Chains A and B, each alone.
Chain A
Amino acid sequence: MLEFMEGSHAVAEIVKRCRPQVIAAYPITPQTHIVEDLAQMVANCELDAEYITVESEFSALSACLGASAAGSRVYSATTSQGLALMFEVCFNVAGMRQPIVMTIANRSLGAPLSIWNDQQDSISLRDSGWLQFYAEDNQEAVDLHMIAYKVCEDHDILLPAFVCFDGFILSHTYEPVALPSQEEVDAYLPAFTPYQRLDAEKPLSFGMYATPEYYTEFRYETDQALYRAKESFIKAGREFGEQFGRDYSTLVEGYRLEDADTALVAMGSICGTVKDAIDEMRDAGKKVGLLKIRTYRPFPAPEIADALKGVSTVAVLDKNISLGGGGAVGTEVKAALYGSGAAVYDYIIALGGRDVRKRDIAAVVDLAEKGKGDMFYGLRTEVL
């Protein structure tokens, strides 16, 4: 049954049904509605969890780390500056292999200060060892939380994950969403069984330091776990499809790509606009398609190369910029397509909440087909 609700509320509802035992979060726009909803659920005894009202995002994730190590399923949510403040803890959580799930209501990073959406925040944490899943709409955001817990807690994986959905564009938007019931979630996601935990009965030292004899191997093992997460995601996504009828058994998803000459590559809510634009371009006889990246980490390079076989022009939409180095997704897509013969162009677009319309997507396709790219799209040159 579809219910019409705000994205943040839908996320809070599914998080509740994933039964986190400890929640630690700090308010930051546009994440607030999620954590407010969860606090109310705890206050109403609808959710049996410890809710820690920490004094910063830095402490939020640190408390989650402690709670997870002590053997609880934990949850947090943040965005933008809050995620930046967690930078150090993020690397730590991944290296300590704690299966924490955190929602990112994607937002730009200052300066200049901007509360509006792009994906600079989570993408800036791409090297931290967190799995990163991007939702196109609120239904996918809901579903990815259940999948994320399943993948993270897989004893063969043991990694944390960001479930990313675009701030305001999704978080504050009302859409029809099918919310799995508590019984359905319980059937899909078993109770948390920690791989190892802080326990006086069985003492372990966690977070020891590694000398040069060991450090490389620990980094290698974490890297391998991220690659193994591909299979784990595919399996969890397939099982999800079997139970709920919405299939997530792929790391990338093609839209009208079959005979496409030109392909757009994008992540998150912009994919909805791109699909509409593609339908119009297709109606006008242009052979255009979309490749949506669902898992940015692990990066699905061979899957992208496979999906874009036969495409001659590729336009990557990057809602981020690695200043002085181009868009982050574009850089990796170019590497994935190296030697394929495809011309790959990158477009920095939709930063800091700048709207993207169907005609912008069509304009990007035109630019790519003319061989113009690796640029900011839609710069207001009149104010420069």
Chain B
Amino acid sequence: MAEVEQGCELFSAGHRACGGCGPALAARLLLKATGKNVIIAASTGCMEVFSTPYPETAWGVPWIHSLFENVAAVASGIEASLKRQGRSEKVVCIAGDGATFDIGVLCISGAFERGHDITYICYDNEAYMNTGIQRSGATPYGASTTTSPAGKCSSGNLLPKKDMPGILAAHGAPYVATASIAYPNDFVQKVERAINTPGPCYIQVHTPCCTGWGFESGETLAMAKLAIDTGLWVNYEMVDGKVVKAKKVRRKPVEEYLAKQKRFRHLFKPARRDDVIANIQAVADANAERFGIDIKAKESSE
């Protein structure tokens, strides 16, 4: 724990997140990494709503929310303004997966292509949680959401999760990383690296949502860890478009992860859907292949 300073809470208690909220933890860790010399631009979403009902802000650093889809453009303007004034604050966006993968892509693409010195953090809880668990471009294959519900004729969301890190790396981002609240220090270190890397950097942090995914509030980190242990989430870093590091694991079958969440319950009840489970296993296998995360014999965890 030595890496992270305890005590000074820039993201304060009293916020209205559900108990066991993954994004709330991500917000806390984010500010531990940035410290005070930062300006946060937030998109509309769960985190914005649970942390800033007027006048009860939970943010101890300068923070701005404009709209759902424009956070990267707002940050572009902030960065340009600070540059003009010769100021030193780092500019960090924090936005959910809906704001990032779907409605905000135009603004993000523009900001990354222009090369603003900003860090964009997507807290990925894999659906529109603020509006009631609707499918987003980050929703994994096979998950039931309120707009991609499982039913007699459907096994939930049948579209793959969009590769946002790849898309932003293709924009020429010097540093792109995925992280997970299951590994807080790793996330903090990645944020520190991103804010100290000139140019637009992207971090996508996996933040399980107990309410939206359907698991007990105490299991938030356990669920995040299972996602990594099954290969359904990979923690990796890309520098100048190349994967330079990925967390290796002794992979468990995806079923262990799926069976613990209500959003995948239809894969087990009323009848097992081995076909869909096999497809999800194939996603994990492809991840393992692409990032080389499998720990082989005689190889220790990196």
Contact = CB atoms under 8 A, between A and B. Distances in A.
Contact of A211 (B54, B72, B75, B113): B54
B78 interface: yes
B196 interface: no
B67 A70 contact: no
B130 to A, nearest CB: 11
Nearest to A69: B64
A337 B251 CA distance: 78
A59 B62 contact: no
A59 B107 contact: yes
Interface in A26-73: 49-50, 52-56, 58-60, 62-72
A220 interface: no
Contact of B65 (A68, A88, A207): A207
B285 to A, nearest CB: 37
B39 A198 contact: yes
Given A66-B64, A88-B67, A49 B84 contact: yes
A89 interface: yes
Interface residues of A, number: 42
Contacts of A207: 64-66
Contacts of B80: 22, 24, 50, 52, 63, 67, 72
B61 A206 contact: no
B39 A22 contact: no
A67 B85 CA distance: 11
Contacts of B38: 200
Given A203-B63, A209-B52, A65 B110 contact: no
B48 A66 contact: no
A22 B77 contact: yes
Nearest to B113: A55
B65 A59 contact: no
A214 B36 CA distance: 29
A349 interface: no
A199 interface: yes
Contacts of A111: none
B110 A56 contact: yes
Nearest to B109: A55
A67 B70 CA distance: 13
Interface in B51-90: 52-55, 57, 59-67, 69-70, 72-85, 89
Contact of B62 (A89, A200, A208): A200
A208 B41 contact: no
Nearest to A207: B65
A96 to B, nearest CB: 7
A59 B61 contact: no
A205 B297 CA distance: 52
A210 interface: yes
B77 A66 contact: yes
Most A-side CB within 10 Å, residue of B64, B72, B80 = B80
B37 interface: yes
A208 B65 contact: yes
B114 interface: yes
12 contacts: A49-B84, A54-B110, A55-B110, A59-B111, A92-B66, A92-B67, A208-B53, A208-B65, A209-B48, A209-B49, A210-B53, A211-B53
Interface of A: 21-22, 24, 49-50, 52-56, 58-60, 62-72, 74, 88-89, 92, 96, 198-200, 203-211, 214
